[in-house]
Amino acid sequence: MVQEKRPNAFALPNGVVVINSGLFDVLENEAQLAAVVGHEISHAVQEHTWREHQYHRKKRMALEIGGIAASAFGAGGIASILTLIEAAIRNGYARSLENQADRIGLEYMVNAGYDPREAPRVWKLMTKKLGDHPTNLFWSNHDNNTTRRSYLMLEIRNNYNGIDYHRLRKGEEEFQSVVGLVREAGSKKKKLKVKS
């Protein structure tokens, strides 16, 4: 965990998962945290960073070189079109990997005993905190919050409809004690900055 106000989490290619402290100002329970962590672990296990770099690598490189050449010859419009095409290829694939991470993250959280219905709630809470934005075909490497929430709800309906939700946990009390520790650590950091 890092002290960072913006709610976010990400996985590094080596398997390290980083969670911003600001996420604890959004999430309500441990099951929601499990959804986020499961999603990020899935990125590492499925080698998404490597796969993103390999996806249509030669085509994307050709488009990038073509864009540079077009710019060098004064054809800025063509360079822009080639840049848009390359971005659409790269980001479209990234969005599909995000969907896979959401789907596998659900599986991880259910296997760990958490209620998967809390996963779509994460995106409702994120929208409440940060708002939502439309998915841009060219520049968005994640679907918007509403789309991700809908995707997760469909996954739950299609793949977890026979589950006994009474045996699954949300972990609200334990989570609230962790939230208190995170906030306490953040306030100590602020006090140290003031004294410096």
Choosing from 30, 40, 98, 118, which is the catalytic residue? 40
User: C-alpha 54: how far from its chain's center?
Assistant: 20
For residue 71, what is the DSSP state? Answer: H
d(CA 17, CA 10): 6
Tell me the pLDDT tens digit for each residue of 133-175: 887 666 566 778 899 999 999 999 999 988 999 999 898 888 8
* Domain coordinates in residue numbering, the chain: 9-195
CB 169 within 8 A of CB 113: yes
Report whether pLDDT(195) > 60: no
Choosing from 30, 86, 98, 102, which is the catalytic residue? 102
Provide the percentage of residues in the chain whose pLDDT is more than 70: 80
Tell me the pLDDT tens digit for each residue of 85-122: 666 555 556 778 888 999 999 999 999 999 999 999 99
Tell which wins on pLDDT, 179 or 114: 114
Q: Find the mean pLDDT for residues 166-192.
A: 81
CA dist list (Å): 85 to 7, 109, 142 = 30, 36, 17
Residue 25 designated active-site: no
Per-residue pLDDT, 71: 79
Which range among 35-39, 62-66, 135-139, 162-166 shows the weakest confidence by mean pLDDT?
135-139
d(CA 2, CA 54): 30
What phi, psi does 125 have (nearest 5°)? -70, -40
Residue 143 designated active-site: no
Per-residue pLDDT, 36: 96
CB 94 within 8 A of CB 142: yes
pTM: 0.77
Is 130 exposed, middle or buried (CB count within 10 Å of its CB: 0-12, 13-18, 19+)? middle
Per-residue pLDDT, 95: 74
